[in-house]
A = this chain, B = another copy of it.
Amino acid sequence: MPNSLLAVVAPPNRILMGPGPSDISPRVLAAMAAPTVGHLDPYFLRIMDEMQTMLREVFRTENELTLAVSGTGSAGMETCVVNLIEPGDRMLVCQNGVFGGRMADVAGRAGAEVSTIERPFGEVFDPAEVAAAVKEHAPKVVGIVHAETSTGAWQPLEEISQIVHDAGALLLVDCVTSLGGVPVEVDAWGLDAVYSGTQKCLSCPPGLAPVTFSAKAVEVIDNRKSKVASWYLDMTMVRSYWGGERAYHHTAPINMNFGLHEALRIVLEEGLPARHARHMENHLALKAGLLAMGIEYSVPEGQQLPMLNSVFIPAGVDDAAARRQLLEEFGIEIGGGLGPVKGKTWRIGLMGEASSRRNVLLFLAALDKVLADQSVASSGGAGVAAANSSYASA
């Protein structure tokens, strides 16, 4: 292998407006490059304590078992499922996109008797159908996705949480894309097991999965009859490392944790209400611009996630060529559709650091150029004008 031919890592400086990762603050990148210390170094233990404090504030919870799992968001999903589920337990999964489907798959592997209710991509569940399914299946755990990253649909949770708890079940929620972009009220809504990722609205590189478990969920974990299927994700051991005992389990990804620590500081400096308002403001401006260009959302009004704008690709546009041009000519990454909407939708992210006025305006201007080059349409800057007007009226 001619190793001498391999160049040093020198990535292009992208504008990350896809479904994640999102743009990363230079402050977070600098923290990632801080000198590595040992995973039992007193300094690192302090950082872990601070991260737990900040994660609780971001999750809006007092849950003791709140920490960052040493894997990406999907590892967070698996952590929540395998710690609550024992072989033969019934789990109901609400499936309206790729990530609900993934949750059902994970639950099946953990030995759950899985039942699902389904909605087409882009739709959300109403409380009545969840109530009916809970009544029919009497599950131990109900799993649902707050922000479906594959479709851009925003699932209301409060009523569903009530229904699930009235039936004596636990509510397990995917907040990978919602956390830090729209309100996530773990305690007020009574969510029992929640996982997120770092690379969406927290604007930290991928590699960790914040999770939190309610007291009731912890009780279920404490009363398990069988070992957790995954050693790596076993909260009965991981919590001893994050908790007072500091029992060695696995070596934490030190520098990833440094990065998330700084990302959480940035989130809390801005404040959650201001951060949510910023995500909404930029979403509305982007939407005004897209609509002015004749581009339609694939999610009904009122259920659209502000940080993940899923729109139908205009007729006659070459999906791959358009995204390639955005990337190569403007350095802008957006996402294609997943699953049944592959080739039919684009997913335009405005997550965390990437949710900015300059990104909205640049993207609309760039898209105008791309569509014109494909001889499909030119809005003559109507998109940019509409977005500017949205900001002015905000």
Chain B residues near A14 (CB, 8 Å)?
35-38, 41
Q: A253-B207, A254-B206 are in contact. Are A35 and B41 (CB under 8 A)?
A: no
Q: Does A282 contact B (CB under 8 A)?
A: no
Separation of A347 and B51 alpha carbons in the complex (Å) = 29
Is the beta-carbon distance between A258 and B9 smaller than 8 angstroms? yes
Q: Name the residue on B nearest A57 (C-beta).
A: B1
Is the beta-carbon distance between A38 and B9 smaller than 8 angstroms? no
Is the beta-carbon distance between B3 and A265 smaller than 8 angstroms? yes
Q: Does A189 contact B (CB under 8 A)?
A: no
Q: Does A6 contact B (CB under 8 A)?
A: yes
Q: How many copies does the complex hold?
A: 2
Q: Does A47 contact B (CB under 8 A)?
A: yes
Contact segment of A156-164, A228-236, A286-294: A228-236
Interface residues in A90-119 (C-beta closer than 8 Å to B): 102, 105-106, 108-110
Q: Give residues in A with beta carbon < 8 Å to B.
A: 1, 3-4, 6, 8-14, 16, 18, 20-21, 23-24, 27, 29-39, 41-44, 47, 50, 53-54, 56-57, 70-75, 77-78, 102, 105-106, 108-110, 197, 199, 205-207, 227-232, 248-256, 258-259, 261-262, 265, 268-269, 327, 333, 338
Is the beta-carbon distance between B255 and A32 smaller than 8 angstroms? yes
Is the beta-carbon distance between B12 and A205 smaller than 8 angstroms? no
Q: Name the residue on B nearest A12 (C-beta).
A: B43
23 contacts between A and B (CB under 8 A): A1-B268, A6-B265, A8-B27, A8-B31, A8-B265, A9-B34, A11-B43, A11-B44, A14-B35, A14-B36, A16-B37, A21-B39, A33-B33, A41-B327, A72-B251, A72-B252, A75-B250, A78-B230, A105-B227, A197-B251, A205-B254, A207-B253, A230-B230
Chain B residues near A109 (CB, 8 Å)?
227-231
Is the beta-carbon distance between B35 and A338 smaller than 8 angstroms? no
Chain B residues near A269 (CB, 8 Å)?
3-4
Chain B residues near A29 (CB, 8 Å)?
33-36, 255
Separation of A70 and B18 alpha carbons in the complex (Å) = 21
Chain B residues near A6 (CB, 8 Å)?
50, 53-54, 265
Q: What are the 9 A-B residue pairs with the smallest beta carbon separation, nearest first? A: A207-B253, A33-B33, A3-B268, A74-B250, A205-B255, A29-B33, A206-B251, A9-B31, A9-B258
Q: How far is the CB of A78 from chain B (nearest CB, A)?
A: 5
Is the beta-carbon distance between A231 and B21 smaller than 8 angstroms? no
Separation of A333 and B105 alpha carbons in the complex (Å) = 43
Please pick, from B20, B23, B53, B71, the residue contacting A70 in the complex, using a CB distance under 8 A: B71
